[in-house]
Amino acid sequence: MRNRSQTKERLGDRAYGLIRERIVTLKLLPGQQIDEALLGKVLAIGRTPVREALQRLTAEKLLDSVPGRGFFVRPVSIDDVKSLFEVLTTLERFAVHLAAQRITPEEVRRLAEVSGRHKAAMARQDFLKVTTLNSDFHRLIHEAAHNAFLLNALKGMYHQSERLAYLTYTKEAHPKNMEVFNRKAIEDHERLIAHLAAAEGEKAVEVITAHFQRFFLRVCHYMEPRVYALDPFLKQEPFPPGPPASAPSVTRPRRREAFRGKP
């Protein structure tokens, strides 16, 4: 009985991982309805594990559940992006602040190893690998903060940020300055490692703040390229060091249409 339960759990985890990857990589587009039967057939996984995975992804706000109609991939809207980054930037800054005080030499070594793999994937333009390795890098910093509540709070948001990151790597989203953005991201990772290893918390917080400001602006420019009013957000002085209060407010664009995939 126990083996059957473990097998069911493993199938549920496998279904969750495979469906989440399809959402992040836009194989399941924002706004698209989920065909549960077809999805189960493609994944070669039964109905129950697939349904459990869909419910889990709904709880993480990657899917919407509509009574009587089923599951839909959650659209991406400017308002959602703004709300996500207000919280994500604040928690990231606090995680870095704590990690600078608590990180171990082994955790610094692991950060450097993942950073090297991330840089290599960037050179190959393997953007799925870039996205997952970037998440791994930040997750290691979260773990180095050694605060279980903070780690749990950040965990769900990273599924959202992964999708946004991969979204901006699609062909139509490639801005002319993508090379500059990628180079700065790599530099940020290297500087974070150095500051954390040296217990330089204030400097690490400044780096992570600028890092997420650029990410936020990149997503907004992809969703609404004409929103130049957002540019001042990038140019602001970093937040004061130490535990942050909240991210700065930004001008909302007039058009708030959600990004949806083709039917």
Read off the tokens for 213: 């400001």
Bigger pLDDT: 8 or 236?
A: 8
| pLDDT exceeds cutoff 70 at 263 | no
Q: What is the pLDDT of residue 222?
A: 75
> Which residues fall within 8 angstroms of residue 65, CB to CB, at 6 or more apart?
54, 55, 58, 71
pTM, two decimals, is 0.75
- Kindly report, residue by residue over 140-194, the tens digit of the pLDDT: 999 999 999 999 999 878 888 888 888 877 655 455 567 788 889 999 999 999 9
Q: What is the pLDDT of residue 168?
A: 79
| pLDDT exceeds cutoff 60 at 253 | no
Ordered structural domains, the chain, with CATH: 2-73 (1.10.10.10), 78-235 (1.20.120.530)
Question: Helix 178-197 vs helix 78-102: angle between axes, to the nearest 10 degrees?
Answer: 30
Across the range 12-18, mean pLDDT stands at 91
Q: What is the pLDDT of residue 177?
A: 63
- Kindly report, residue by residue over 77-91, the tens digit of the pLDDT: 888 888 899 999 999
